[in-house]
Structure 1
Amino acid sequence: MSGYQWLVLGLCFLIVAADGMDVAIMGFVAPTILQEWGISRAAFGMVMSAAPIGLVVGALLAGPASDKVGRKKVLVGSVLAFALFTLAASYAHNVTELMGLRFLTGIGLGAAMPNTTTLLSEYVPEKSRSLMVTMMFTGFNLGSALVGFVAASLIPVYGWRAVLVAGGLVPLALVPLLMLLLPESSRFLAVRGAPAQRIARTLGRVCGATFPAGTAFVSQEPETPAKTPVRLLFSKGFGLMSGALWLTYFMGLMVIYLLTGWLPTLFKDAGLTVSQAANMTALFQIGGTVGGVFVGWLMDKRAPTRVISLGYLAGAASVLLLAYSGTMSAALGLLVALVGFCMSGAQTGLNAYAPSCYPTMARATGVSWMLGMGRFGSIFGSAIGGLLLGLGWSFETILSLLAIPAALAAGAVLLSRRAQA
C-alpha cells in the first residue's frame, strides 16, 4: 500500500463514517421526538422507513450513473446531497416534513455507499482487498456510534434538532476535501478509453512510477458479453449469484436496521434513561467496527463466503442470548456489542466480497443493486419494528424473531458462491 492508496482509504473511510452518522441518526432522536410531538411509534415508523426507501432509489440510480460518468462525480454529489438534507431536517415541524426530508437524505446516502466500495476495491491490492474494504466500512459503525454519543450529550441540553445539525455539518465539511483529493478510478478510466496522460498521472500517484509517452493502458479482465451493466446482472453466470447476494443483504439489513432504529426505544421502555439507551445502542456499532475488521482479515485468509456465513450464524445465536438475558443483565453491554460484532461484521464482509463478483464495466452497478435491493430489508426492518412495538410485543419476543433472518442470510451467501462457480 502506497501513501496515496492510504489517502484514498482515508477519504472513503470518512465518507462512510458520515454516511453511518446520518443513517443511524433518527434512531437516537426518535424517543425525544415521540415525546415532544406526541405521536405513536407506528406513525413514526413511516419516518424511520423514509430514509431506507431513499437509499434504495439512490443505490439503484447511482450504480449505472457511476459506471457511465465515473465514481468521483457521483460520490461528491451524493455526499453534498445528504449533508444538505440532514441540515434541512433539523427545521422540520411535523411528521410529513421530516419524512420527506429523510427520503431525500436517503437518496444521497444510498448513492454514496456503493461508490465508495467500488472505488476503493479498484485501488487497493488484491491480496488485502477484503481487509481494506472492511476497514473502510468500520467508518460506518464508528459514525453510527459517534452520533449516539453526540445525541446523549446534545439532546439533554440543546434538544434533538442540534443532533441533526451536527449530522449535516460533518459531511458538508468533507465535500471540498473530496473535490480536491479524491481520484477517479484508474480501471474505470482505462475501460472508458480516457486519455493515457490522465491515467498515467493517476497511476503515478498510486505507485510512484513514471510512464513513457505513448503508453497504452488496459484493464485485464475475463471477457463478458457486450451488455449494459444492468442487463449483465441478470445474464447467465450472474443472475442466480446476484439474486443470492440480494437475499443475503436483505436479511442482514432487516436485522441491523431494526436494532439500530429501535434499540434505544426498546431499552427506554425497559427502564433505561434516554442517555443510557443511546450509549448502550452505541456499543452495537462499536462491536460492529471490531467485527468488520476481523471478518475482513479472515476473508483474505479463508474462503470469504464461509467466513461471512459463520458470522451470520453467530449473529443468530448472539441475538437469542441478548433476548433472554434481560435488560438488567450485568453483561448487557457485552451482549449488545457481540450482536454488533457478528451481524455488522458479516454484513461488512459482504460489502467487501461483492465487488469481486462483477467486472469493471458493471462493478458499481452490481454493488449498488445489491445494496439497493437489500435495502428493502432495512425498510421492512424499520417499519416492522415500529409495528411490533405498537402491538405491545416484548423485548424478548422481538429480538428472538431476528434470529430467523440472520440464519437465512447465512445460507443465502453460500448459495451465491455456488451460483458463481
Structure 2
Amino acid sequence: MDRSTQHSDQRHAVITVAICFLIAVIEGLDIQAAGIAAAGIREHFGLDSSQLGVFFSAGILGLLPGALVGGRFADRIGRKKVLIWSTAVFALFTLCTVWVNSFESLLAVRFLAGAGLGAAMPILITLASEAVSPQNRGRAVGLMYCGMPVGAAILSLIASTDFGSNWKNIFYLGGLLPFIVIPLMMWLLPESREFLKAQAAGKDVTAQNAAPKASFKDLFNSQNLLRTLFIWVSYFFTLMVVYIMLSWLPSLFMELGFSRKEGSTAQFYFMVSATVGTVILGMLTDRWKKAYVILLMYGGILAGLFALNAAGSLMQMYMASALVGAFVIGCQGVLYAFGSIVYPTEVRGTGVGVASAVGRVGAMLGPAIAGQLLAAGFGAAGVISAAIPCIIISAIFMLLLVRRIQTV
C-alpha cells in the first residue's frame, strides 16, 4: 500500500468515526432526555410511576422496528443514505415532543423518534467498523459509541442550569442538533468502501448467475445460526440492565433518600466514567482475548450493582454509579463491536440491526419492569437485585459466542 492510499484510508476512517461519534452524542442526549425531563413531564401530563415507565419504554419500543428496517435498508441501498434519513426522522419527532397535548400523542411521537434513532444505531456501528481494518474494529466502535455517554453527560450538566430546568428546552435541543449535523453528513460522510465493494461484487455475480442478495434467512444458515442466537440473548439481557440504569438511576437515588440534584450528579458520574470505560473496553476488545474482555466487563457490572446495593454514604453511591457506568455502557459498546466482528459484510448491517432490535425488546421491558417493581414496593434495592441474574445470563452466552467464533 503506497503512502497516498494509506493517508486516504486514514482520512476516510477519521471522518467516518468522527461523524458517527456526533450522531452517538445526539443519541446520548435523547436517551438521557427522558430521565431528566421525567419530573417535568410527569407534572405536565399528570402521570403516575407506572405511566412514567410506559413513557420511558415508548421511545425504546420505537428503536425495535427502526433497528430492523435501518440495518436491512443499509445493506441494500447504502449506509449513508439510510443514516441521513433516519436522523431526519428522529429530529422531526423529537421536536414534536414539545408540541403534543395528551399522554397518547406523547407516546406516539416518542415511539416515532425512537424508530429514527433505532434505524441509525446499527448503521453507525457498521460504518465505524467498516472504516477501519478488522484488527481495529473494537477500538473504532468504542470511540464512536463513547459519544453516547458524552452526550448524556453534557445533558446532565445542561439540566442543572436554568435553561435545562424547562423540560421542553431539552427536547428542542435534541431535535435541532441533528438538523445541524445532517448537512455535515451529506457533505463529508463517505460511503462504506466495504459496502461498495460488496455491492459491486454482488452485481458481477448477479450478472453471471442471478444469485440472490443476502437476506434475513442468512442469519440462520449453518455458519450463523448459533452466533445469532447467542448474540441475541446477550443483547436482550444486557440492554435490559443498561436501560434500567439510564432511565431510572436518578429516581432510584431519590427512592434511597437522596435529593434530585444528588441523583443528577450521580448520573453525571455514571456517564463520565461510561465514556472512559467504552473507549478502554473497545481497545481491549482488539488487543486481549475476547473471553478476558467479557469476564472483565460483566464482572465489573456485577461489582457495581453490588456496590450500589451496599453503599451507605453519598460518596459511596457516586463511586458505585461511576463503577456501574464504566462497565454497563462500555459493555454495550463491546457488544456492538462483536456484532460487527461476528457477521460478514453482506449481512453485517442486517445482523447488527436485528440483534439491536432484539436488545431493544429487553431495553423496552427493563424500565417498565423497574416501574412495576417500584410501584409494588420493592424499592431501589429490589430493582438493582433483579438486574444481577440478567448480567450473569448475558456473560454466559457471550462466552459461548466467543467459543463458537474460535472453533468455526
**TM-score with structure 2 setting the length:** 0.91
CA distance in 2, matches of 1:193, 1:277: 52
Q: Which residue of 2 aligns with 1:167?
A: 174
1:40 and 2:48 matched: yes
CA separation of 1:418 and 1:176: change in aligned 2, threshold 3 A: same
Say which is worse superposed, 244-253 or 265-274, in terms of deviation. 265-274
Tell me the equivalent position of 2:393.
408
Q: Is the 8 A contact 1:323 1:397 kept in 2?
A: no
Q: How many Å separate the matches in 1 of 2:86 and 2:362?
A: 22
Aligned residues: 393
2:6 aligns with: none
**Which residue pairs with 2:223 in the alignment?**
237
Offset from partner CA, 1:142-201 (integer Å, 9 cap, x none): 1122222222224675x1111111111111211111011111111111221289xxxxxx
CA separation of 1:355 and 1:418: change in aligned 2, threshold 3 A: same
Q: 2:381 aligns with which of 381, 396, 401?
A: 396
Contact 2:12 2:190 (8 Å CA) reproduced? no
**CA spacing shift, 1:239–1:344, aligned 2, 3 Å:** same
Q: Which of 328, 331, 334 lines up with 1:346 in the alignment?
A: 331
Which of 308, 317, 327 lines up with 1:322 in the alignment? 308
Partner of 2:190: 183
CA distance in 2, matches of 1:228, 1:218: 15
Task: Kindly indicate whether the alpha-carbon contact (under 8 Å) linking 1:304 and 1:353 is maintained by their aligned counterparts in 2.
Answer: no
Q: Is the contact between residue 309 and residue 411 of structure 1 (CA under 8 Å) also seen in structure 2?
A: no
CA contact (8 A) 1:31 1:265 kept: no
Cα deviation code 1:325-359 (max 9, x no counterpart) = 13x33222111010011111122111112111111
Q: In structure 2, do the counterparts of structure 1 residues 155 and 32 end up closer, same or farther at CA, with 3 Å as the change threshold?
A: farther
Aligned pairs (5 A) from 1:98-137: 98-137=106-145
| Residue deviations 1:125-147 (CA, integer Å, cap 9, x gap) | 23322112101110011112222
What is residue 380 of structure 1 aligned with on the other side? 365
Q: Scaled by the length of structure 1, what TM-score is found? A: 0.89
Residues 146-295 of structure 1 aligned to structure 2 (within 5 Å): 146-154=154-162, 157=165, 159-193=166-200, 228-295=214-281
Measured at CA, do residues 72 and 188 of structure 1 come closer, stay the same or move farther in structure 2, by a change above 3 Å?
same
- The match for 1:92 among 96, 100, 104 is 100
Q: 1:70: Cα distance to partner? A: 0.4
In structure 1, how many angstroms separate the alpha carbons of the residues matched to 2:330 and 2:307?
18
CA distance in 1, matches of 2:314, 2:31: 29
* CA deviation vs aligned residue, 1:45-77 (integer Å, no higher than 9, x gap): 111111111100000111111110000010000
Matched, 1:362 2:364: no
In the TM superposition, residue 303 of structure 1 has moved relative to its aligned partner by 1.8
Match of 1:209 in 2: none
Q: CA RMSD in A?
A: 2.1
Read off the aligned partner of 1:24 and give its amino acid letter. Answer: Q
Q: Is the 8 A contact 1:63 1:114 kept in 2?
A: yes
* 2:299 counterpart (302, 306, 313): 313
CA contact (8 A) 1:280 1:333 kept: yes
Q: Once the two structures are superposed, what CA deviation does each residue of 1:191-226 show, in whole Å capped at 9, x if it has no partner?
A: 21289xxxxxxxxxxxxxxxxxxxxx999xxxxx96
Cα distance change on mapping 1:329 and 1:272 into 2, 3 Å: closer
Using the TM superposition, give the Cα deviation of residue 41 of structure 1 relative to its aligned residue in structure 2, in angstroms.
0.7
Q: How much has 1:315 moved relative to structure 2?
A: 0.5
Distance 2:219 2:154 in 1: 36
Match of 1:402, SS state, is: helix
Judging changes above 3 Å, is the alpha-carbon distance between structure 1 residues 294 and 218 closer, same or farther for their aligned structure 2 residues?
farther
In 1: Cα distance, 2:311 partner to 2:384 partner: 11
1:60 to 65, 68, 73: 68
3-state DSSP of counterpart to 2:200: coil
SS at match of 1:153: coil
Which of the two has greater helix per residue? 2
Tell me by how many angstroms 1:30 deviates.
0.7
The DSSP-based 3-state class of the residue aligned with 2:190 is coil
Alignment gaps of 5+ in structure 2? 1-8, 206-210
Residue equivalent to 2:5:
none
Q: Secondary structure at the match of 1:140?
A: helix
CA contact (8 A) 1:147 1:167 kept: no
Unaligned stretches of 5+ in structure 1?
196-216, 220-224
Distance in 2 of aligned mates of 1:235 and 1:45: 38
Separation of aligned partners in 1, 2:241 and 2:47: 25
| Cα displacement (A) at 1:233 | 0.3
Distance 1:127 1:218 in 2: 28
Give identity over the alignment, percent. Answer: 34
